[in-house]
Structure 1
Amino acid sequence: MAKTRNRKIKGGKRGLAAVTAVMLLGTVTALWEGRSLTPYRDVVGVWTVCEGETRVQMRTHTEEECDALSKDMYREFLGSVERDLPGIQEWPYMHAAHADISINIGKSAFRRSSMRRNYLAGDYRESCRSHLLYNKAGGRVWRGLELRRKGDAGRVGSYELCLVDAVRMDLTGWKP
């Protein structure tokens, strides 16, 4: 009986962590990306629409279409990060932070990143600190990317978001 109850509690915590990660990702990505219903070229000339979507037809979208695209994008990148970082689903703040940067730099770049290497080595704070290195686009530093990583007076950055769980992971001695 106790084993069944413990499984239910663990399953409930995982479900809550997953919902929390989606909410955090939706909030932080929307704050930094903004939303444009009409396509525009980003700082390096890539056509973009909604909240940073680059892989859809570039046309004017409705709010509802952007909501659906964003929701799908969040799930996709949270899932990708979950596959790349064992156990990350238990840490919604770090999960959301890594998914946000993965949306920004792409899945393959994330897989090759120092963020991933440091996480897999068990250096969670350094994994978060690595976010600060990803402030360039087209080979040059962009103030907007620096702020997206560090945060500013009114918005949390991916580095700060990530640290919430990294500190807890270190304090508890958590290992995947």
Structure 2
Amino acid sequence: MARTINAAGLKLIKSFEGCKLTAYQDVAGIWTIGYGHTRSVSVGMVFTQDQADQALASDLLSTEAAVARALASVDTNDNHFAAMVSLTYNIGSGNFASSSVLKHHRTGRAQDAADAFLMWNKATINGVLQVVNGLTNRRTAERTLYLT
């Protein structure tokens, strides 16, 4: 059976992504709709709440699967998994696969893994890598969940 994010992780994603039913550009200029859905989004696109919920569920399937693959044969509790799914949902599975969060988790260094979440608080805005307060807050919440 496929591993899925727990309620605390889903609540975290929804609270930080927010739900916007009209397409918008995020701080990095990426067209986004619903709960952070970016695939095939274009200007003027509109979702119903049901479409936003379905897009999140669909996006989470691939995110959960990527995190589960990366953690195969590694002892991982539900909050570890949920925090890493939230991170991966935001930064992408490629970035997660090469992250210090994953490296430290795989070697059983939970505190180092938790602290490594905090490194992912920047976005490229107008060509410049910058700290984003919303990302700092999200990473802090993910770190807290991971340590819970």
Partner of 2:51: 65
Q: Cα RMSD between the aligned structures? A: 1.8
Structure 1 portions without partners, runs of 5+: 1-13, 151-156, 165-176
Q: What's 2:34 paired with?
A: 50
Contact 1:88/1:95 (8 A) holds in 2: no
Residue 110 (structure 2) aligned to one of 100, 124, 140: 124
SS state of the match for residue 80, structure 2?
helix
Deviation at 1:22, TM superposition (A): 3.8
Partners of 1:149 and 1:71 lie apart in 2 by 21
Give the percent of matched residue pairs that are identical in Structure 1 and Structure 2: 27
Partners of 2:60 and 2:85 in 1: CA distance: 8
Displaced runs of 4+ in structure 1, greater than 2 A? Answer: 21-25, 86-90
Match for 1:92 among 68, 73, 78? 78
More strand by share: 2
Q: Work out whether 1:159 is the aligned partner of 2:143.
A: yes
Give the partner amino acid of 1:53.
Answer: H
Contact 2:24 2:33 in 1 (8 A): yes
Q: Deviation digits for residues 49-71 of structure 1, max 9, x if unmatched?
A: 10111113331011001111111
Secondary structure, aligned partner of 2:51: helix
The runs of 5 or more residues in structure 2 that have no matched partner are none
Distance (Å, rounded) in 1 between the aligned partners of 2:107 and 2:6: 25
Give the aligned residue type for 1:162: Y
Superposed displacement of residue 88, structure 1 = 5.8
User: Higher relative contact order by CA 8 Å / sep ≥ 6: 1 or 2?
Assistant: 2
What do the CA deviations read for 1:81-140 (whole angstroms, capped 9, x no partner)?
010012468511110100111111111011111011111222122111100111000110
Which string of whole-angstrom CA distances, capped at 9 and with x for unpartnered residues, describes residues 151-176 of structure 1? xxxxxx10000111xxxxxxxxxxxx
How high is the TM-score relative to the length of structure 2?
0.88
* 1:32 equivalent among 16, 22, 28: 16
Aligned length: 142
Distance 1:111 1:135, change over 3 A: same
TM-score calculated relative to the size of structure 1: 0.75
Give the helix-richer structure, 1 or 2: 1
